[in-house]
Amino acid sequence: MVDPVIVTENLTYTYPNSNEATLKDVDLEVKKGEFVLITGKSGCGKSTLARCMNGLIPHLFGGKMDGRVLIHGKDTKKHPTWELARHIGLVFQNPESQLFTLAVEDEVAFGPENFGVPREDIEKRVDWTLTSVGMNEFRFKPVFNLSDGQKQRVAIAANLSMLPDILVLDEPTSNLDPKGAREVFGVLKYLKEEHKKTIILIEHRTNYAVGYVDKVIIMDSGEIALTDSPGVLFKAQLLKKFGVRAPEPIFLFGDANQHVASENHDMLKTENLSYAYDGNGLAIQRVDMTIQKGETVGIMGPNGSGKTTLVKHFVGLLKPNEGRVLVDGIDTQKADVSMLAEKVGLVLQNSDHQLFMDSVYNEVSFGVKNMKSEKEIEERVEDVLRTMDLWRLKDRHPHSLSDGEKQRVTIAAVLTRRSDVLILDEPTSGMDGYHMDLLVDKLSELKKSGLTMILVSHDIEMISKLAPRTVVMSEGKIVNDGPTSEIIQHF
Amino acid sequence: MKFCERFFATKSSIIHELDPRAKLGLILLVTMVSIKLESFVCLIILALVLLICMYLAKIFKESLCLLKHFVVILGVVLSVSIIVRDINQTVCTGSFFARLFVMTTAGLLLALTTSPNDFAKALEKMRIPRPITFIFTTTMRFVPTLLKEVEAVMDSLRLRGLRLRGRDILKTPSSFYRGICIPLTVRSIKISDELAATAETRGFGSPNKRTSLREVKFRKNDHIFLFTMVVLSITLLIVDKGVAIPW
């Protein structure tokens, strides 16, 4: 009989300034060496549970916590977070905001240094952890030159160097491309098999996890709805009920192929396009592509392959170093961003950068005010808000909304301008199955209205549902361009 | 971004390996000596010595990129002084700029050859409290991240047809506040929240006496370096006072 290393008993938690409990009577036991996947809809309490395990709740976040959490028998309420850090490590979603220092070695040494570990031991720990995550060759490199996948591996090493038995990872692969995600899962497999670490993985993307985990916990509205073996991830109806994404992408080419593009109307065209950022090599080179009016195209490829650089050319944020870009026949060299923004709307990945008005209504109506009569603007804004299911939220401050709602606001802001083209950059990053289906439904409606769409994403499932054509980029070049159903065979 | 990366010393040289306190000492020494020196020639000699140090540190190219603006301004001011034939003004301006050049060069020698981490460790050795040095290194680490954030916010504004340049900030401060301050504040608060949580889970706040993987230590080379610079400074001061050089 293996003793549990994590126990939660009747755990109920309410954040400060909130009336509703985020966790409700959560009872959980995790045994030593287990690899547990915790999944569920956004806002179901997964990350909050992780914070409770590390003592960040209640020590850092405050709020009202009832019940208790025991880590190796230690009550988290009675032990400060730094003390629990010896037993339990936490890797966050955003690699950028969990690395403090400038060099890989310093980052990994940071934890043991805080605990006053002797220098010789720190040296050994840095050696061991960097070898474990396959980052030893980067030991003296600056962290900001690493890819996101490499940063995430450094974050894992930085936790391991404190020699915890338990590692909690909160959506560690949300920002990663498939290669980066596979790298992280390779490390987790090694830690479980070779070092018998207990691993708690919080993830929306179940496709990588399914081959590794021993147990699956599905959460819903702050409660544990289900605890089962990994086989539960293949019960499609059950997953749909809890808004969890299936490990095997559900491809719906039939629906996607119903779309008809206008003939002989080149909406977007690049001719021999090359671009280099200051002092660096070519980010994209000799790209030739044409997108017809009404077409929906997926653009895929690893991080740094030039996808975002390419689409920024369609709105004039970047101008070609060589070749040219035509938007509905207009050469982007001769047009400024505000003019192109009337034709092409680009929704960037992070909604927080794009919201600055005091209400959803004002956010969506911003930018059309000087162009039309007041009545026409009101009608247009209402129409778009209703289409995007935002009318009920029109008076809310945009930054008070959930991530999914914020994203819909940014799309609505583009639609209000009646752009001919909508470009979405990583629209489903960190999104659960329920919200992905909602977004796909909305985009399908827009597609039927004749809007030209480009979807830049790693999400094969979402692209297969919407885009009949997919362009694959690698190292700044188009390496494949064809029907999505054929392209997907290579993934 | 490129500008920031210059300050995150990744090269290796005899100057890089010096204790940051030795380089801090150099700044102090050079500042005092340059104020005391009256002869333009002596100031130029001091500047040349520092440029040699830059060469040894393999940062000559990066430094020149920053110092060239300085030389251009000096050239313009000196040209104007010569055109108006005011010899006293020319000497005064020349000496003023030479002092400023010497101090800037010493500063760059520290900034471009010392990693913020080593600098923080040196500050801790000088009994500066750990929370302050931690804020220093974390701030340095996040300068490139914040620049990326600013770039993303500016791109978003341009996509909405709003372009904010320097003069627009004065003309429409409300647009600046709404368009840039709000999104940046929201992002900064989110990042700082995540950072605080991460720091807690990495043992920050532990009462244990902190150790260090790479200890900053005053070694033989630091003593030789500082001794050489002190001897040079004294020699220049003696020459400056004893030898009647007209400039």
pLDDT tens-place string over residues A449-474: 889 999 999 888 889 889 999 999 99
Considering the domain boundaries, does residue B51 fall inside one?
Answer: yes
Residue-wise DSSP of A351-383: GGGG--SSSHHHHHHTTTTTTS-HHHHHHHHHH
The CA distance from B89 to the nearest CA of chain A, in Å, is: 41
Quote the pLDDT of residue B143.
81
In this prediction, residues A316-321 reach a mean pLDDT of: 92
| pLDDT confidence tier of residue B1, bands split at 50, 70 and 90 | low
Considering the domain boundaries, does residue B247 fall inside one?
Answer: no
pLDDT tens-place string over residues A77-94: 999 999 999 999 999 888
Quote the pLDDT of residue A323.
94
B215 touching A (Cβ < 8 Å): yes
Write the CB contacts of B245 (distance below 8 Å, at least 6 apart in sequence).
Answer: B39, B41, B42, B239
Of the candidates B62, B103, B97, the one whose C-alpha atom is nearest the C-alpha of residue B79 is B97
Which chain A positions have a beta carbon within 8 Å of B178's beta carbon?
356-357
B residues 15-74 closer than 8 Å to A (CB): none
- Contact check, Cβ <8 Å, B215/A119: yes
pLDDT tens-place string over residues A395-410: 998 888 877 788 888 8
pLDDT tens-place string over residues A234-285: 888 888 888 888 776 655 554 444 555 555 788 999 999 999 987 667 789 9
Which chain B positions have a beta carbon within 8 Å of A119's beta carbon?
211-213, 215
- Contact check, Cβ <8 Å, A356/B178: yes
State the total domains in chain B.
2
Tokens representing A146 are 């690493």
Of the candidates A62, A63, A80, the one whose C-alpha atom is nearest the C-alpha of residue A71 is A80
Same domain for B9 and B64: yes
Phi, psi of A487 (to 5 degrees): -60, -40
Same domain for B227 and B193: no
Kindly tell me if the per-residue pLDDT of B194 is higher than 60. Answer: yes
The CA distance from B63 to the nearest CA of chain A, in Å, is: 17
- Contact check, Cβ <8 Å, A85/B201: yes
Quote the pLDDT of residue A254.
46
pLDDT tens-place string over residues B83-140: 776 667 667 777 788 888 889 889 988 988 888 878 888 888 888 888 888 888 888 7
- Contact check, Cβ <8 Å, B198/A117: no
- Contact check, Cβ <8 Å, B160/A357: no
Tokens representing B62 are 């990066």
Which chain A positions have a beta carbon within 8 Å of B212's beta carbon?
113, 119
Quote the pLDDT of residue B144.
78
Tokens representing A126 are 């840095």
Same domain for B19 and B109: yes
Same domain for B101 and B146: no
Considering the domain boundaries, does residue B210 fall inside one?
Answer: no
In this prediction, residues A300-308 reach a mean pLDDT of: 87
Which chain A positions have a beta carbon within 8 Å of B138's beta carbon?
100
Same domain for B150 and B110: no
Residues of B157-193 as b/e, b for ≥16 C-beta within 10 angstroms?
bbbbbbebeeeeeeeeeebeebbbebbbebbeeebee
Quote the pLDDT of residue B166.
67
Quote the pLDDT of residue B6.
58
pLDDT tens-place string over residues A102-143: 889 989 999 999 999 999 999 999 998 998 888 888 998 888
B159 touching A (Cβ < 8 Å): yes
In this prediction, residues A419-446 reach a mean pLDDT of: 85
- Quick check: A165 and A193 in contact, CB under 8 A? no
Which chain B positions have a beta carbon within 8 Å of A357's beta carbon?
178
pLDDT tens-place string over residues A240-253: 888 888 776 655 55
Give the Cα-Cα-Cα angle A419, A422, A424 (nearest 5 degrees): 150
Cβ count within 10 A of residue A410? 28
- Quick check: A47 and A200 in contact, CB under 8 A? no
**Percent of chain B at pLDDT above 90?**
17
Q: Tell me which of A291 and B62 has the higher pLDDT.
A: A291
Same domain for B133 and B106: no
- Containing structural domain, residue B15: 4-114+217-242
Scan for tokens 């050049």, then name that residue.
Answer: B101
How many A×B Cβ pairs under 8 Å?
A: 180
Scan for tokens 């690893």, then name that residue.
Answer: A302
Same domain for B68 and B24: yes
Please return the burial class of A284, using the count of CB atoms within 10 Å of its CB with bins 0-12, 13-18 and 19+: buried
Please state which of the ranges A190-194, A410-414, B37-41, B141-145 shows the lowest mean pLDDT. B141-145
Same domain for B150 and B106: no
Scan for tokens 């179940």, then name that residue.
Answer: A206
Q: Tell me which of B136 and B231 has the higher pLDDT.
A: B231
Same domain for B143 and B92: no
Angle between helices B60-83 and B87-111 (to 10 degrees): 170
The CA distance from B164 to the nearest CA of chain A, in Å, is: 12
| pLDDT confidence tier of residue B247, bands split at 50, 70 and 90 | very low
Quote the pLDDT of residue A406.
86
DSSP category for residue A188: H
Same domain for B66 and B24: yes
B126 touching A (Cβ < 8 Å): no
pLDDT tens-place string over residues A26-67: 999 999 999 999 998 888 899 899 999 999 999 999 899 999
Considering the domain boundaries, does residue B206 fall inside one?
Answer: no
Q: Which amino acid is at A79?
A: H
Residue B33 host element (H or E): helix B20-36
Same domain for B167 and B66: no
Kindly tell me if the per-residue pLDDT of B4 is higher than 70. Answer: no
- Quick check: A408 and A415 in contact, CB under 8 A? no
In this prediction, residues B219-227 reach a mean pLDDT of: 93
Residue A117 to residue A108: CA distance in whole angstroms? 13
Cα end-to-end span (Å), chain A: 42
| pLDDT confidence tier of residue A100, bands split at 50, 70 and 90 | confident
Same domain for B193 and B225: no
> Out of A80, A81, A337, whose CB is closest to B159?
A337
